[in-house]
Amino acid sequence: MARTMLLWSFLFVFLSGGAFAQEEGKRSIDEKTQMGLGDFFFEDGDYYRAITEYKRFLFFFPQSLRAEEALWKIASSYFHGKRWDDALSSADELLKKHPSSPWTPDAVLLKGRCWMEKGEFSQGRYYLQRAKEMAGGSGLSQEAQWQLAVSYLKEERWKEAAAEFRKIDSASRLYPRADYWAKGIEGIEEVPQKSPTAAGILAILPGAGHLYCERYRDAGMAFVLNAGFIWGMVEAFRRENYVVGGILTFFELGWYSGNIYSAVSSAHKYNRNKKKEYLDGLEREERFSVGLSFREKQPFLSFRYVF
């Protein structure tokens, strides 16, 4: 009897479970829900899950009118995830399958930005210029122009960068920032610099080149090391210990030439650091500024922070 009850219990659970599974199997996901799931992960910064959901959208709804949008969002997700090559491949897939898509200018702009991130600035500017021409006078066109200016800025081609920033339309939301950067870049020539040639010449006296570049600790070490080797070398030859003198001479030639090379390198590093400090200062001032204004003769302190 007990075994019979157990069997009936098992059959009940099995059959009810099957019915439940069938009920569950009737559930379906529509285009809006599937795309919304990808958008949810994208906005949450979980780009790889977003890519999975957008790809799932394309699998379930290959003929959807939103398939082009899904392809664009896959490329954009790869870009935000810093997978430049995958972003380029996805953008190319969109351009190949849907050359007349409304997302085409966005895809071309994204390709330009990917090449910039890879350090291929000339290649990047080619696609940025194409995106600008395709977008006409839209906001995307101004974004492409902004990125063109930034490409020159990253290459430290200051004059070209300032000129490109000035091409931003005065009606664009980017104009205040572009005008700010154009004016700021023009002042970069006033940033204090050290001459690598002068540093190399001064380094004939060990440590003097580093002293010129304001690297006081390196200057002291260069002077002490070279002075020590030269003293030992002179003493060895004076005592007719030519083997030791020859060894010390060999090492001193290395230290001495290294001292000159290091001084020249220090000048270049000093110049890079000063320019970086100047550009970082421009960025900080752009993102956060404090101003004093008057309203009905009453002073008000205003703050501005750009996210």
pLDDT digits (tens, 9 = 90+) for 67-122: 999 999 999 999 999 999 999 999 999 999 999 999 999 999 999 999 999 999 99
Q: How far is CA 250 from CA 109, 225, 243, 303, in A?
A: 56, 14, 11, 63
> Which of 100, 47, 93 has the alpha carbon at shortest distance from 72?
93
> May I ask the CATH architecture of the domain 31-190?
Alpha Horseshoe (1.25)
> Across residues 276-299, what is the average pLDDT?
61
The set of residues, in sequence order, having a beta carbon less than 8 Å from that of 85 and lying 6+ positions away, is: 114
Please write the tens of the pLDDT for every residue from 192-247: 899 999 988 988 888 888 888 988 888 888 878 777 767 777 777 777 777 766 77
281 three-state secondary structure: helix
- Sign of the CA dihedral 238, 240, 242, 243? negative
Q: What is the pLDDT of residue 26?
A: 54
**CB within 8 Å of 267: residues ≥ 6 apart:** 194, 195, 196, 198, 199, 200, 209, 212, 213
Average pLDDT, integer, range 124-129 = 97
Mean pLDDT of 53-66: 94
Q: Which residue has 């194409």 as its token pair?
A: 130
Give residue-wise pLDDT tens across range 10-19.
334 333 444 3
Mean pLDDT of the chain: 82
Residue with tokens 């995307």: 140
Q: Is the pTM of this model over 0.85?
A: no
More confident residue, 231 or 57: 57
CB atoms under 10 Å from CB of 30, counted, come to 10
